[in-house]
Each structure stands twice: as structure tokens, then as C-alpha cells.
Amino acid sequence: MLQDTLSFATPDCSGCPIRHRAVCARCDGDELARLEEIKYYRSFEAGQTVIWSGDRMDFVGSVVSGIATLTQTMEDGRTQMVGLLLPSDFVGRPGRDGAAYDVVATSDLVMCCFRKKPFEQMMETTPHIAQRLLQMTLDELDAAREWMLVLGRKTAREKIASLLAIIGRRNASIQSVSVADRVVFDLPLTREAMADYLGLTLETVSRQVSALKKDGVIELQGKRHVTVPDFSRLLEEAGDDQDGGLLV
């Protein structure tokens, strides 16, 4: 698997799997060529920390494949996930030197990186990049606010259902399948990571997953493979209105 991902080292954007969704989505051939000059790939193994909070960041970049998490940690060890980074998501903040969060590879991960200074210069001269980045940042802001409602007001059961709904819906959108009724996917997160995302303990996550299973809202094959027989039922459990604020 890691071998596969390393093969991205050939630096040709035109065949890139995230070409049409990443920060470079709006760039034309010329602009892409200039980006190619300052880009490079980096691979990380599952579990590796990509960036430590507080560290100086000399690059920004996009997730090409794999999954990473964005987390904050308090001195006493309490941690809260503040973002889930999927292919095409952008990492780093132009105009800031220090990293504000830990970025950890949850699966094997490949990133397309740009040295920060040249990237910032390109942003000045290439509106297409800044425009796309604004769009992506606004989407992330919406997602963060959506999540604030989950964290602040939902019960443990609703939180689990919300997370499953988000993952299920996203999987469906990647495969361009409608979320009619039956939805099947693999959880990309451990119970502990789910807990960190949801502001719960891993025990509570485990209990509520079991409860949803017992009540027939979901079916489990193994620990990670999930089947949702009736997606609208899951949305009800999540406390979302029926079609759940059609996200991206």
C-alpha cells in the first residue's frame, strides 16, 4: 500500500487524483506548470505525526491520499479533534509561521507540498489559487460550525449517529452514489479517534455504537465495516432534519 502511494513521486499534475478538487482546482495549464516547479511529495506512515503544534511550518500542501487528523491538546492531555483531513483538503495557513494544531496521519498518507514562501508569492499573483482557497476555507468554516452544534448540544447517541452520517454521506459522494437507503463503508477512525472527534470517552463511543447496532440502526461486520440499512433512520437518530443540510 505504501509502495503504491510512493509512486506519486512522478510530478505530473494532469493525472493527479485531486486535480479538480484541491487548492489548484481552478488553475490553468500555465499556473499548474508554475506550481509544479515548487511542489514535492511527502509520504507518511499511519500513526506518524506530520506537524507538531507550535512548530515552525515551512510548507503548506494538500492531502493526496490517505487520512489525517487535526487535533488540539490541553496540558493535562485532554484532546479534541478539530478537523478531519481527506484527499484534496489543504494543510497550513498562508501568512502564518507556526502550526496551530497537531496533524497526524491516521492512515498511510501522501501529501503534495509547496514551500511556503514561493506559494505565498504565487497566491499574490494568481487569483485562481486565492479564490479556490477562500472557497475551501469557507467550506471548512461551515463544517466547523456544524460540528460546534454536535459538540455543544447533541447527546452521545446523536453524536455517533452524526459522525456515521457524515462519513456515510461523504463516501457516497465520492462514489457518486445517492444516499437512498443502504449505505456501506469502513470507519477510518479508531474508537479513540471517534471519541476525540465527538468530545466523548472511548467507552461511551463503544457503548453507543453497540446500542445503535442493537437497535438495528446500523449493522457491523467486524469492528470497522458498517452497513446502514436505512439512511434516513440514521439521520433521525442524528437529530438532523430529514435530509440533513446537504453538505458537500
Q: Is position 211 an interface residue for a second copy (rule: CB under 8 A)?
A: no
CB 32 to DNA: min, Å: 38
Q: What is the DSSP letter of 216?
A: T
- Sequence-separated contacts (24+) of 71-76 with Cβ below 8 Å: 71/101, 71/102, 71/104, 71/196, 72/101, 72/102, 73/102
Angle at Cα 111 formed by Cα 106 and Cα 117, nearest 5°?
130
Give the per-residue contact string, 171-210, with a second copy (x = CB under 8 A; - = no).
Answer: ---------------------------xx-----------
With CB under 7 A as the contact rule, which of the stretches 19-27, 130-138, 143-151, 152-160 interacts with DNA? Answer: 152-160
Give the per-residue contact string, 46-85, with a second copy (x = CB under 8 A; - = no).
Answer: ------------------------x-x-xxx-xxx-xx--
C-beta closer to DNA: residue 56 or 224: 224
With CB under 7 A as the contact rule, which of the stretches 25-33, 96-104, 190-198, 229-237 interacts with DNA? Answer: 190-198
Residue 206 carries which side chain, given as an amino acid letter? S
C-beta closer to DNA: residue 117 or 224: 224
Q: Which of the listed partners (DNA, a second copy, none) does 190 bind, with a CB threshold of 5 to 8 Å by partner kind?
A: DNA
Q: Is position 167 an interface residue for a second copy (rule: CB under 8 A)?
A: no
> What is the rounded CA–CA span in Å between residue 159 and residue 147?
10
Residue 79 carries which side chain, given as an amino acid letter? T
SS3 assignment, position 152: helix
> Which helix or strand (DSSP H or E) is residue 134 part of?
helix 127-153
Cα dihedral value 155, 157, 159, 163, nearest 10: -170
> What is the rounded CA–CA span in Å between residue 205 and residue 207?
5
> What is the rounded CA–CA span in Å between residue 145 and residue 137?
12
Give the per-residue contact string, 199-238, with DNA (x = CB under 7 A; - = no).
Answer: xxxxxxxxx-xx---------x-xxx--------------
Q: Which residues bind a second copy (CB under 8 A)?
A: 70, 72, 74-76, 78-80, 82-83, 93, 95, 100-101, 124, 127, 130-131, 133-135, 137-138, 140-142, 144-149, 151-153, 198-199, 239, 241, 245
Q: Which residues bind DNA (CB under 7 A)?
A: 155-157, 190-192, 199-207, 209-210, 220, 222-224
